[in-house]
Amino acid sequence: MAPSDPTARAPVPPTPGAANPGGAPARILVVGGGGRENALGWGLARCPGVETVWIAPGNGGTQGLPGCQVLAIAESDGESLAAACRERAIELVVVGPETPLAAGLADQLRREGLAVFGPGADGARLEASKQWAKALMVEAGIPTAGYWSAASCQEALEILERLNRPLVVKADGLAAGKGVTVATSVEETRAAIEEVFDGRFGAAGASLVLEEPLSGPEVSVFALTDGRSLVLLPPAQDHKRIGEGDTGPNTGGMGAYAPAPLLDAAGLEAVRRRVLEPTLAALRSRGIDYRGVIYAGLMLTASGPQVIEFNCRFGDPECETLMPLLGPELAAVLLACARGNLAAAPALAIAPRCSACVIAAAAGYPGEVRRGDTIHSAVEPDANLQLFHAGSRREGDGRCVTAGGRVLAVVAQADDFDAAFEDAYAALTKVSYEGITYRRDIGHQVRRPPSRLPA
Ligand code: AMP
């Protein structure tokens, strides 16, 4: 990303929202083009006071979201995004994906005087460097697996030889969810180490972390923060594997549900005290003013929750799952986080309902996928049902076609998970494209098996 020269730019004009720290911003830019960003745009556009949400670059479904507009600018093009913000007097920028955050997009936009929800490159290291995140966790006393860092293949193999037991191997940098191997033998650990250093992860594989294996169910906790205070969202669980029964290769996520009953209110409070507050304090002690989402991937082990990873943004599809549960204060809360005054924001209402999300992928996912197939949908979204687009594209003739691995997210809310998943799956039958692929067992942990459902 080209560095910007703030002195060469006209100052951002004062905006109506700027006079009212508790109020919602009228004009918002969401950066990113996935299902997560469409869900963010949808969730923000429905907040009172919000007039327009632009999504850059968006996708084939963006224009169909009430109150949302596509802005054809790449998430890596900071200069053009800044110019678009000036032209539209944008009051809040929400950066969805980790790559532009790690590359310093939030820093660049803040230098332009914009209010940005998303950490700078310094805070994004929580996700962009596993070594950095592990060192921070250990210093802050945050429960996490024991680890060793290695900057060369030889160093890593020497550690393995000394320990002589299977370890978890993690490429240090951003590897699109593909940089982790949970090895079950010393041989597999060795092969995974060699793979990291063979260059397949590019700069992300210049060094690695070896970790003690943990076991237990996994749950994700999302906190919105202005660098000092935290608002916790309901815990969510996703399904990473492509196959039913949680089998087969890892994906970006085939579905999710929230709130995950694995972590009750007391458990969530414990995570706040033992994980999130110490993390914020450790970031501050490094001089990092972190404004955005802290996503803690936790494993609930026999000795309590342990942090498996931190991410610096919403999960996808957890974001699609959570947005419908969040109240109309969302836009004001994100703006307050961006301005560093979350304490002055209205309380964020969270609906006490069950939210179920099922991803429809393209044939071949997570490998090479079919593209360009026309998407047909007779889904009629309502207050309890949403259809978010992810890997889709609008053609010149108006057709919406598949354009990626994960194509759509269908999300439904109800009073219990059986009803929510039933509604989500019923909606999925109204969507079609060549090669549509989805798991039928999303949420199996919280659904009654069919034999126990009333006839
Ligand atoms: P990460 O990218 O660090 O979240 O790792 C991806 C996945 O690998 C996690 O969701 C876990 O399922 C698994 N994993 C990561 N670290 C460990 C660990 N120390 N022990 C067992 N499984 C792990």
- pLDDT at position 21: 39
- pLDDT at position 6: 34
- Mean pLDDT calculated for residue range 426-432: 97
Q: Which of 14-23, 155-164, 305-314 comes out lowest in average pLDDT? A: 14-23
Task: Output the CA 54–ligand 1 centroid distance in Å.
Answer: 35
Kindly state the DSSP code that residue 343 receives in the 8-state scheme: G
Decide: 120 and 103 in contact? Cβ < 8 Å. no
- Mean pLDDT calculated for residue range 253-259: 97
Q: What angle do CA 202, 204, 207 make, to 5 degrees?
A: 110
| DSSP H or E run through 258 | strand 255-258
- pLDDT at position 14: 39
- pLDDT at position 343: 94
- pLDDT at position 453: 52
Ligand 1 pocket test, pick from 142, 144, 165, 182 with the greatest ligand atom count within 8 Å of Cβ, gives 182
Atom of ligand 1 nearest to the CA of 214: 20
pLDDT band at 178 (very low <50, low <70, confident <90, very high): confident
Gyration radius (Cα) of the chain, Å: 21
Q: What is the pLDDT of residues 204-243, one digit of tens each?
A: 778 899 999 999 999 999 999 999 999 999 999 999 999 9
- pLDDT at position 454: 52
Q: For residue 371, is pLDDT > 60? A: yes
Residue closest to 92 by CA, chosen among 118, 116, 69, 71: 116
Atom of ligand 1 nearest to the CA of 240: 10
DSSP labels for 107-171?
HHHHHTT--EES--TTTTHHHH-HHHHHHHHHHHT--B--EEEESSHHHHHHHHHHH-S--EEEE
- Mean pLDDT calculated for residue range 363-391: 95
Q: What is the pLDDT of residues 264-316, one digit of tens each?
A: 999 999 999 999 999 999 999 999 999 999 999 999 999 999 999 999 999 99
Residue 99 phi, psi (nearest 5)? -65, -50
Ligand 1 pocket test, pick from 165, 246, 309 with the greatest ligand atom count within 8 Å of Cβ, gives 309
Atom of ligand 1 nearest to the CA of 308: 16
Give Cα separations from 235 to 23, 261, 264, 281, 311 (angstroms): 27, 8, 9, 22, 15
- pLDDT at position 9: 35
Q: For residue 13, is pLDDT > 60? A: no
Residue 295 phi, psi (nearest 5)? -110, 115
Task: Output the CA 169–ligand 1 centroid distance in Å.
Answer: 9
Which residues does a 6 A CB cutoff place in the pocket of ligand 1?
145, 168, 170, 180, 182, 211, 213-214, 218, 297, 308-309
- Residue 42 CA to residue 16 CA, distance in Å, equals 22
Task: Output the CA 378–ligand 1 centroid distance in Å.
Answer: 38
- pLDDT at position 179: 83
Residue closest to 428 by CA, chosen among 399, 385, 368, 391: 385
Q: For residue 452, is pLDDT > 80? A: no
Mean pLDDT of the chain: 92
Decide: 94 and 40 in contact? Cβ < 8 Å. yes
Whether a cis peptide bond, with omega within 30° of 0, leads into 328 is no
**Residue nearest to ligand 1 atom 5, measured at CA:** 180
Atom of ligand 1 nearest to the CA of 170: 3
| Amino acid symbol at 27 | R
Atom of ligand 1 nearest to the CA of 213: 20
Predicted TM-score (pTM) of the model is: 0.92
Q: What is the pLDDT of residues 109-148, one digit of tens each?
A: 999 999 999 999 999 999 999 999 999 999 999 999 999 9
- Residue 247 CA to residue 242 CA, distance in Å, equals 7
Residue closest to 60 by CA, chosen among 43, 40, 42, 38: 38
- pLDDT at position 450: 66
